[in-house]
């Protein structure tokens, strides 16, 4: 092995050019830290670009690059789940380590990709796939490796956080802010992945696997977006000392003696959290992940969750880790001869593959959260008594009530915050409340978490 | 090599027992992640303890344990800089990897210890030495490895942060809160290390080395404690939109064309920072480090900076990293045969030893910060004009002024916030201000940073 590390960059979009720029800007720093030359030997792009360093050959045959002898590490920053998957599998088959920023691909096909990598004794690194430049994958797989993780809560979609921040700070409605986010390039022309929570669900699936040692199960993530959040609810939440953020939660439940209710909650939804929580003060396009683990307690990681610089930083951190793997030549030989020796590298999903557990993912009805309820009722004397009785009968504890003056004649919203309750119980209670004669509209409900 | 990893724990104080408890609580998690048995084969303590698992032999001969064939990794949690150093050097000499939480020892003798470890092809891991359970060492050495770090600012002493938080939240004076901190066990009977900033300076020296690739230079850290902070200043700061935190700063200065002023600022001092910065909202005994790097931008890491659980988490994260090193047997053999191959492990100070630079540490007079000034003057018409003229003549830009009504007859404090200025300029200006006939007291000055 020569002293140089040879990189192929597949894809020359924002992230690919970000990686090239990082290497140009920080080459000296990379060498001083790794003791190695880091060189880009191949760039794969379907369209030739003339704004890239001309000493780098651009090649449109990505499958050939992924198999090239002139490459140690393949960086996949094409995106999508078709060609990206093909080139990654090709690279793995040819004994190349892979670095990818592709959360959708890993959330949907990660189990297969990681297993193939194990078989071929290569690593697929994916720091950039979750929360951009925040090193949450490294933190959870390595820094928290001695902890039992109880739960995590993350702002893991920058577009959604930008929208929620602007709605609150400037009192602007959802549609208006979304349009601005699109103009600023924060949101795609089709914003579905961001505003419906799908992008966050991809990332949550990855985080949950490395938190609990379970296979990737993107299809089981409960997913609610922010399209239904109104300024009215944003303002009521603030008045009660809370802030609405779009969060992904992964929570381990022991079932409190009832093994049927033991499992993992995977959910993405708008959530009221206390205003004074650090997470509530992570604004704009910033991302942050709060992890609660034993015995460490709560730790928070915050930074840019997207953008060329942040993503390139994460991609190249993975490369720097792989440089150490590649540096140990006898370690490589050992890889080929000794399978299933997991002592020498960080397992893809944090836990060694044969130790991944089949802990069930809980159904929505089994999930336990607090609630914010907005109930619209005719202003008749008994309505509050009716509502609170229904909640009380369902074993739901009320934490706060706010009854505002009527904004339509004869109609007043009642805001109720509850303590945590099993969703099936809340469903039943809401059904009953909506059947009351005095209730004029569907009950609006948003989950609430004290992050305690 | 057997499949078990054999640990020696030297010291059975808070941290040592925390490590034992962590291993008992999370043994299953440790095995699932590492694929190895983690066993404590030796415990070293000068006083026998009878509240520890009786299957573990307690031994008072720490030097013998550090050389024992029955040990792969020596965990030093004795503290202090004498015996702790002896046992670490003994362990290194005998080919054991070392994990330590000892910031004072590393800040003062780290260059020697790390060099000796390199010579003997072992690792000395020290995540727990800075910011307790926050994985700031791993983050900076590995996750930010592709970045050029411009500066960092950290709340890295929990006791100091507790005191500053209580002063602000409850309007209690310094001495009063310090007494409570001592009762709560947050502060030692002799609180000098915490309140004078020495503990923070130890940690800053470590952070600065791994940020910039410079040798440890604890003796060059400029250090100011919090004993001089009054409620009056806390309140004025709040009124102007700032909060006073005790921070450690490591800043890279390019000298703006003047190579004499190029270098690194290492400083620990109370600092006004914007109220809405996340760092300003890190309260109580929590620690947090904000790192500004290119191309990532700002990232923040927050959590418990002390305590048994947080420290044990960091110690055992280091052990889990070392398990991977120990897992690669041929890697070990390579270590003995190939010196100076740094590809295979993370360098102790993030940069490979021969690449550590002799970038100078700047003297206090060369440092550049904003300032909060509290000036007491007789309420004579020309005084404000005199002060502002002196500042202006010195090239110091005023950002804000607050003149409060007199609280003594004829005497009013004037509060001035300045933009960043070289300290030597500020010294001259303050000297001139204090010579004015209208000035009744020494000028109170506290540094200010916008964290931009």
Residues A140-184 have pLDDT tens digits of 999 999 999 999 999 999 999 999 999 999 999 999 999 999 998
pLDDT of residue B57: 78
Q: Closest residue of B to A350, CA-based?
A: B33
| Burial class, A82, CB count within 10 angstroms (exposed 0-12 / middle 13-18 / buried 19+) | exposed
CA distance A129 to A148: 23
Task: Pick A195 or A50 by higher pLDDT.
Answer: A195
pLDDT of residue A337: 36
- Give the whole-number percent of chain A exceeding pLDDT 90: 83
**Lowest mean pLDDT across A157-161, A410-414, B50-54, B58-62:** B50-54
Nearest residue, CB atoms, A344 vs list B309, B328, B334: B328
Which chain A positions have a beta carbon within 8 Å of B334's beta carbon? 328-331
pLDDT, tens digit, 9 for 90 and up, residues B324-356: 888 654 444 444 433 334 446 899 999 999 999
For residues B364-388, give the mean pLDDT.
91
- The shortest C-alpha distance from B248 to chain A (Å) reads 19
First to last CA, chain B: 51
Element spanning A114, H or E = helix A103-119
pLDDT, tens digit, 9 for 90 and up, residues B406-432: 666 667 789 999 999 999 999 999 999
Q: Closest residue of B to A329, CA-based?
A: B331
CA distance B84 to B77: 8
Name the architecture of domain A137-304.
2-Layer Sandwich (3.30)
pLDDT of residue B54: 63
Which chain B positions have a beta carbon within 8 Å of A150's beta carbon? none
Q: How many CB atoms lie within 10 A of CB B156?
A: 31
Is domain B136-304 classified as CATH 3.30.465.10? no
CA angle B26, B30, B34 (to 5 degrees): 175
First to last CA, chain A: 51
CA distance A133 to A125: 14
- The shortest C-alpha distance from B225 to chain A (Å) reads 26
Collapsing DSSP to helix, strand or coil, A206 comes out as helix
CA distance B119 to B77: 23
**Lowest mean pLDDT across A107-121, A360-374, B34-48, B209-223:** B34-48
pLDDT, tens digit, 9 for 90 and up, residues A354-409: 999 999 999 999 999 999 999 998 877 788 999 999 999 999 999 999 987 766 66
Closest-CA residue to A138 (of A1, A294, A319):
A319
pLDDT at A340 over 60: no
Q: Where are the beta strands (DSSP E) in A395-436?
A: 398-403, 411-422
CA distance A31 to B162: 41
> Both tokens of residue A22?
């990082």
Q: Where are the CATH 3.30.360.10 domain residues in chain A? A: 137-304
Q: Closest residue of A to B144, CA-based?
A: A317
- Whether the CB of A296 is below 8 Å from some CB of chain B: the reply is yes
Closest-CA residue to B290 (of B149, B167, B138):
B149
pLDDT at B37 over 70: yes
Which chain A positions have a beta carbon within 8 Å of B135's beta carbon? 139, 142-144, 299
Tell me the pLDDT of chain A averaged across its residues.
92
Q: Quick check: B131 and B289 in contact, CB under 8 A?
A: yes
Q: Where are the CATH 3.30.360.10 domain residues in chain B? A: 136-304
pLDDT of residue A410: 66
Is domain A4-132+308-327 classified as CATH 3.40.50.720? yes
pLDDT of residue B339: 39
Q: Where are the CATH 3.30.70.260 domain residues in chain A? A: 368-448
Q: Closest residue of A to B341, CA-based?
A: A327
Residues A169-191 as b or e (16 or more Cβ within 10 Å = b): eeebebeebbeebeeeebbeeeb
A residues 314-333 lying closer than 8 A (beta carbon) to B? 314, 316-317, 319-321, 323-324, 326-331, 333
Q: How many CB atoms lie within 10 A of CB A117?
A: 21
pLDDT at B405 over 90: no
- Whether the CB of A310 is below 8 Å from some CB of chain B: the reply is yes
ipTM above 0.90 for this complex? yes
> Both tokens of residue A363?
């159904």
pLDDT of residue A344: 64
Model confidence at B258, pLDDT cuts 50, 70, 90, reads confident
> Both tokens of residue A79?
């995106």
Put simply, the answer to whether B139 touches A142 (Cβ < 8 Å) is no
Q: What is the CA radius of gyration of chain B?
A: 24
Q: Where are the CATH 3.40.50.720 domain residues in chain A? A: 4-132+308-327
- Give the whole-number percent of chain B exceeding pLDDT 90: 83
- Give the whole-number percent of chain A exceeding pLDDT 70: 94
pLDDT at B118 over 80: yes
Closest-CA residue to B122 (of B333, B335, B342):
B335
- Look up the CATH number of domain A368-448: 3.30.70.260
pLDDT at A334 over 70: no
Nearest residue, CB atoms, A295 vs list B22, B138, B276: B22
| CATH superfamily name and code, B367-448 | ACT domain (3.30.70.260)
Model confidence at B189, pLDDT cuts 50, 70, 90, reads confident
């Amino acid at each position: 092995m020569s002293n140089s590390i040879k990189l192929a960059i597949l894809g020359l979009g924002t992230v690919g050019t970000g990686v090239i720029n990082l290497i140009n800007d920080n080459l000296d720093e990379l060498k001083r830290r790794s003791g190695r030359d880091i060189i880009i030997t191949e760039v794969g792009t379907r369209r030739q670009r003339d704004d890239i360093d001309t000493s780098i050959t651009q090649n449109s045959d990505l499958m050939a690059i992924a198999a090239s002898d002139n490459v140690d590490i393949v960086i996949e920053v094409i995106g999508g789940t078709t060609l990206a998957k093909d080139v990654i599998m090709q690279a793995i088959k040819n004994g190349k380590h892979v670095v990818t920023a592709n959360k959708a691909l890993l959330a949907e096909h990660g189990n297969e990709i990681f297993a193939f990598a194990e078989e071929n004794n290569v690593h697929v690194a994916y720091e950039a796939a979750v929360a951009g430049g925040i090193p949450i994958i490294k933190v959870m797989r390595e820094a928290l490796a001695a902890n039992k993780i109880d739960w995590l809560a993350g702002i893991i979609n920058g577009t959604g956080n930008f929208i929620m921040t602007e709605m609150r700070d400037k009192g602007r409605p959802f549609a208006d802010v979304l349009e601005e986010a699109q103009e600023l390039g924060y949101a795609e022309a089709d914003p579905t992945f961001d505003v419906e929570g799908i992008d966050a669900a991809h990332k949550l699936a990855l985080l949950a696997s490395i938190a609990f040692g379970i296979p990737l199960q993107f299809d089981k993530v409960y997913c609610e977006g922010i399209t239904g959040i109104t300024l009215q609810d944003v303002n009521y939440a603030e008045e009660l000392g809370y802030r609405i953020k779009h969060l992904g939660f992964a929570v381990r439940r022991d079932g409190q003696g009832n093994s049927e209710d033991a499992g993992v909650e995977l959910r993405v939804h708008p959530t009221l959290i206390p205003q004074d929580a650090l997470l509530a003060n992570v604004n704009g396009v910033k991302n942050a992940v709060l992890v609660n683990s034993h015995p460490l307690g709560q730790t928070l990681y915050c930074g840019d969750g997207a953008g060329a610089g942040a993503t390139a930083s994460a991609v190249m951190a993975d490369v720097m880790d792989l440089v150490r793997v590649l540096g140990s030549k006898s370690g490589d030989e050992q890889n080929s001869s000794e399978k299933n020796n997991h002592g020498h590298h960080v397992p893809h999903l944090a836990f060694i593959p044969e130790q991944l557990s089949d802990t069930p993912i809980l159904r929505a009805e089994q999930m336990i959260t607090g609630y914010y309820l907005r109930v619209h009722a005719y202003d008749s004397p008994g309505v509050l008594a009716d509502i609170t009785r229904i909640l009380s009968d369902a074993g739901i504890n009320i934490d706060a009530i706010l009854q505002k003056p009527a904004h339509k004649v004869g109609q007043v919203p009642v805001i109720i915050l509850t303590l945590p309750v099993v969703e099936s119980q809340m469903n039943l209670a809401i059904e009953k409340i909506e059947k009351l004669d005095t209730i004029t509209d569907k009950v609006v409900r948003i989950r609430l978490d004290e992050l305690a």
